[in-house]
Structure formats: C-alpha cells, structure tokens
C-alpha cells in the first residue's frame, strides 16, 4: 500500500501525523514529561530538540526556545508554570533506572 505514496505525499502525511501528535499532547497536559520519558524514552523536550535538528538540516536558524514553543504550543516557562508538577520519588527512581548507560 505504501508503494503508491509519493515522497511529497509521504511528507504531507508525516507532517499531519506530527501535528496530530502535538494536538494529542496538548490535550494531555496532565501527562508529565517524566512520565513520557519513563514510558516511551522521549518527551516534549526531545521533540523540541528533534524539531530544532530537522530545521538545521534544512538550513534554517531556529532557536531552542522557538522549537519548544512550537511543540508546547506556548512558551515553555508558561507551560511549565501551568502544567508541570513536582516529580515523585517513584518517577525519579524510574527515570534513573531507564537512563541509557
């Protein structure tokens, strides 16, 4: 099935999937970055860094704060103040156990 998808169509589909992922994360502000890291090995900050790297590959100068604002849907400091809670001891312990060595 994917054999019939052109590179341009694939790019549009992938971009739509990324936008949908951001919408989903926006709707789940209750899910903390540490939860995402512990479960999936990436978080909103990782997405921001990947966005920044992809922009740089395209020769675009995007700073990290702008990339985070794109992913978070608002300035990071505002998101953090509104939604980020204190990590529990269990979350921090899981994070330490799951860190790549």
CATH code, domain with 29: 1.10.3340.10
Q: Compute the average pLDDT of residues 80-94.
A: 95
User: Cβ distance 68 to 48 under 8 Å?
Assistant: yes
User: Cβ distance 39 to 20 under 8 Å?
Assistant: no
Q: How many domains does the chain have?
A: 1
- For residue 1, the model assigns a pLDDT of 60
Report the alpha-carbon distance of residue 92 to residue 83 in Å, rounded: 18
User: Cβ distance 20 to 31 under 8 Å?
Assistant: no
The angle subtended at Cα 25 by Cα 36 and Cα 78, nearest 5°, is: 95
pLDDT digits (tens, 9 = 90+) for 25-57: 999 999 999 999 999 999 999 999 999 999 999
Percent of the chain with pLDDT over 70: 98
Note the pTM of the prediction, 2 decimals.
0.88
**Residue 39 structural domain:** 2-98
User: Cβ distance 25 to 44 under 8 Å?
Assistant: yes
């Amino acid at each position: 099935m994917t054999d019939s998808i052109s590179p341009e169509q694939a790019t549009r589909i992938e971009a739509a999937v990324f936008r949908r992922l951001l919408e989903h994360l926006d709707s789940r502000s209750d899910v903390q970055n540490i939860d995402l890291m512990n479960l999936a090995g990436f978080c909103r900050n990782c997405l921001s860094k990947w966005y920044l790297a992809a922009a740089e590959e395209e020769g675009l100068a995007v700073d990290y704060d702008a990339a985070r604002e794109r992913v978070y849907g608002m300035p990071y400091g505002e998101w953090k103040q509104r939604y980020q809670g204190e990590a529990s001891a269990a979350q921090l312990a899981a994070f330490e156990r799951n860190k790549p060595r």
